[in-house]
Structure 1
Amino acid sequence: MTDDSTRLAVLIDADNTSSKLIKEMFEELAGYGTITVKRAYGDWTNPHLTGWRDVLLGNAIAPQQQFAYTYGKNATDSALIIDAMDLLYSGNVDGFAIVSSDSDFTPLATRLRESGKRVIGVGGRKTPKAFVEACEKFVFTEVLTGVQTPPETVTGTTTDSTTESTKADQPRPIQSVLTKALNRVDTDDDDWASLSALGNHLNRTDPAFDARNYGFGKLSELVKAQPFLETKTVIGAGGRGRLWLRLKGRRPAEEKAPVAVAEKPVKKAAAVKKVAKKAAKKTAAKTAKKASGRSSA
């Protein structure tokens, strides 16, 4: 749901981002708030950025020129970070969208979140995991159109020399993800959890979680398609339906209770009966002994 009261600053590392999905990216970010600042950083004298010209004009993005003072050093990153801190202290925005696949922005994302600001990251799957985890939410550019972005469309060079193990992984097995989440969220007595509780938990624990990574447009569509889950829709006040789900094989509380409650009385009754039987035998033996004594006398 869109929160129009949240003011977002979108800061784009043009040296490390393709211009081909900018329109889709802004449509995605519109769901997180009202975009009040749009800036793109790069050395616009570099021929690699010529494709950005029409994109900047067509989307009202303010280009921020940053010359490469020294070969091999990314001055664009420094300019973006300085502007982000200026915007933070100005108090004119509530959140930031950092568009880059570069791990150099990890400390910036961490610092902004420490100041209570929302941080949404946007980048390719090659983005290092450290930057992904530093953001409140991370959107992979590959899911914006449902197709993989060809590597050659990304301009400039990546400063990261990270290995595959430190990059954002491919989506984890969905059964493992949802099972772990459902075992942690609040449920009712019959193990039903609301879809909203599940979604909130997934967003808190995995900034990059997105139903589109698994080929579904919404989380509700994703859970309904899973054979290991069962779902139900509960109609609430105003006729609005709420989706609930649980793992298959979980028995309702009313089916579990009688077994647990019934076992104890049965065992207890058997024990009492056994003791009574022993006592009766002892009494009978004593009576017989006394009777035997009288007859001999």
Structure 2
Amino acid sequence: MADTEKRIAVLIDADNAPAAKVDVILAEVARYGVANVRRAYGDWKNPHIKSWEAVLHEYAIRPVQQFAYSRGKNASDMAMVIDAMDLLYARNLDGFAIVSSDADFTPLVMRLLTDGMKVYGFGEKKTPEPFVNACSKFTYVEALGEPSGAGDTTATRARTATELRGDAKLVQLLRGAVDLASDDDGWSNLGAVGHQIANQASFDPRNHGYRKLSDLIEATGLFEVKREHQNIWIRDRPVTRPRKAAPRSR
């Protein structure tokens, strides 16, 4: 089955997801497959999620009403988890897209992964790392779509070379993937590097402000990059250390 035919359930925590980003989220999901299940969970009497009502019909998202049975408790989370497990056991899907900035869904993601499901996470930059790292791929919604104008402060700014090199976790991930995918001369094909990264971590270059992995890798300044026809090859740039000055003669 081709990637475009994979069946994906989009489950939205309306309490913890921006309605204004639903179009770009669904466009992103379409890159991985067909969103043939679209549900948004919340107490629709709550004015806090009023903005979702305007987009539910337009994007064929089914609202799931969940009353808050206890003050301070989010019953929508539980309803969403129960539905996710029902969908998992029905065996009619190839993956899930979980739209939320709530780390409480981390155990759900881990359970879905155990069954061989791909889980694509979408949330705001405030999303705790356990949820981000648990997903097969997690994308910050601020990184999706184009900035609406010069005054848009939500778009992800491209991190500078200094910032990228100062991110020890990122550098280790990139260097490790390049090394594992390298040939005898140290060159690695970009596709193999991307595949290696996907197997290791939840990673999206747009979270760092770059549209493509190749753009991010070049921006670090840590790698040599060469292009041959349609192929891009990467090699770790050797570290050059300053030569010690010769001792002065007395």
TM class by shorter-chain length?
0.7 to 0.9
Post-superposition CA distance 1:103-150 (Å, at most 9, x none): 111111111111111111111121121112221111111111366549
Q: Is the 8 A contact 1:141 1:149 kept in 2?
A: no
Which one of the candidate residues 207, 213, 216 is aligned to 2:207? 213
Q: Quick check: 1:249 aligned with 2:249?
A: no
Q: Is the 8 A contact 1:11 1:80 kept in 2?
A: yes
Shift of 1:223: 2.6
Shift of 1:47: 1.1
Q: Work out the CA distance in 1 between the residues paired with 2:17 and 2:154.
A: 11
Letter in 2 for 1:90: A
Segments of 5+ residues of structure 2 without an aligned counterpart are: 148-152, 156-165, 240-250
Q: Quick check: 1:204 aligned with 2:199?
A: yes
Which one of the candidate residues 173, 181, 191 is aligned to 2:177? 181
Give the secondary structure class of the aligned counterpart of 2:18: coil
**Cα gap change, 1:46 to 1:172, in 2 (>3 Å):** same
Post-superposition CA distance 1:182-227 (Å, at most 9, x none): 23x23112100010111112222220x2222333211122233443
In structure 1, the residue matched to 2:187 is 192
Letter in 2 for 1:249: P
Q: Quick check: 1:224 aligned with 2:218?
A: yes
**Cα gap change, 1:16 to 1:226, in 2 (>3 Å):** closer
TM-score (norm 2): 0.82
Shift of 1:175: 4.5
In structure 1, the residue matched to 2:136 is 136
In structure 1, the residue matched to 2:63 is 63
In structure 1, the residue matched to 2:162 is none
Q: Work out the CA distance in 2 between the residues paired with 1:204 and 1:187.
A: 16
Shift of 1:85: 0.8
Percent identity over paired residues? 47
Shift of 1:57: 1.2
Q: Is the 8 A contact 1:132 1:138 kept in 2?
A: yes
Report the structure, 1 or 2, having the larger helix content. Answer: 1
Letter in 2 for 1:213: N
Aligned-residue Cα RMSD (Å) equals 2.1
Shift of 1:79: 0.6
Q: Work out the CA distance in 1 between the residues paired with 2:88 and 2:173.
A: 35
Larger Cα-atom Rg? 1
Post-superposition CA distance 1:225-260 (Å, at most 9, x none): 44332122234xxxxx2111102238xxxxxxxxxx
**Cα gap change, 1:204 to 1:60, in 2 (>3 Å):** same
